Structure 1
């Protein structure tokens, strides 16, 4: 028997966990698996990110603005969880569970997600650099606002592969649902 590396053991464990979660969650929200509904979830998630960015900007100007982060999170988590369920978590699925076409789509979406992340994170980084130079006693506000903006842009980049795949994938094959129901 060949000795496995820690990476191979990790990938095997990750695959087992993914398949177990797919079995558990794969039948939930069947009415939301259409392209139209997935796109509605992507748009809702996008609106949530705009709200989060707005909270980050407001934190620069108002002391009580961070309170708005709680409603933003209360919006984000159920929408993100629903999107992950209805899209089958293809954005972060182990490649051993995907066919060649799905691997190509996943790689393209991940590449776009990395580009989005790199571009968007530069905005709060420049804000923090310039703001720290120009700050005149407002360092705490700048740090908090910059932190929320950075966190939000990282979340956008991290969620974008799943959002891209949910937006672009065709409707599920009706025959697949007929087999599951039988």
Structure 2
């Protein structure tokens, strides 16, 4: 009788969480010693401010485009030039705790992460009302050419989703104390 293949009786979510935990721990080991000077609370806060400034430029770009300044879309490029490196360094410096799987954290870290995620979701839900309102009013009252309204609305939605998605990591990076120095 042929040997039967091992059957994994865990559901797909459990397997995915196990995969996420393994991947998180692998990257944690890879990046644990990177950017040691950026791991202080002051430097992390500076990175949070840089990311927030990039969001401000993105939001301003979306509003300017909503008012018909089509060349304002070029402001998106410097916003991205600030966002991507600042966000990458912030994620490394803060240990990616905002999106860490539960199995990789202790109870206190899980509680902090869940609280930050809840705040991020609330921010997303409330801020999303702005582009929804703009798109509804733009569609009903014809605020401009359809493409302009759609483009500005898309920039608003993208900005809000980035803010909400990044908020948990930004909150955790802001509130967590300096790492304890090892002997």
- Once the 2 structures are TM-superposed, how far is the Cα of residue 41 of structure 1 from its aligned partner? 0.5
1:148 matched residue in structure 2 = 155
Q: Which of 45, 60, 64 is the matching residue for 1:39?
A: 45
TM superposition score normalised by structure 1: 0.93
1:44-88 superposed Cα distances (whole Å, 9 cap, x missing partner): 111110000011111122122222222211211111111100000
2:141 matched residue in structure 1 = 134
The number of equivalent residue pairs is 176
Greater C-alpha radius of gyration: 2
1:121 matched residue in structure 2 = 128
Q: Which of 51, 73, 85 is the matching residue for 1:78?
A: 85
Instruction: Note the residue ranges of structure 1 that are not aligned, 5 or more in a row.
Output: none
Relative to 1, partners in 2 of residues 1:171 and 1:137: Cα closer, same or farther, differing over 3 Å?
closer
1:99 matched residue in structure 2 = 106
Relative to 1, partners in 2 of residues 1:103 and 1:136: Cα closer, same or farther, differing over 3 Å?
closer
1:52 matched residue in structure 2 = 58
Aligned-partner Cα distance in 2 for 1:56–1:86: 30
Aligned-partner Cα distance in 1 for 2:59–2:48: 16
Relative to 1, partners in 2 of residues 1:136 and 1:155: Cα closer, same or farther, differing over 3 Å?
closer
Instruction: Note the residue ranges of structure 2 that are not aligned, 5 or more in a row.
Output: 1-6
1:103-122 superposed Cα distances (whole Å, 9 cap, x missing partner): 00001100100100000111
Aligned-partner Cα distance in 1 for 2:47–2:143: 42
TM superposition score normalised by structure 2: 0.92
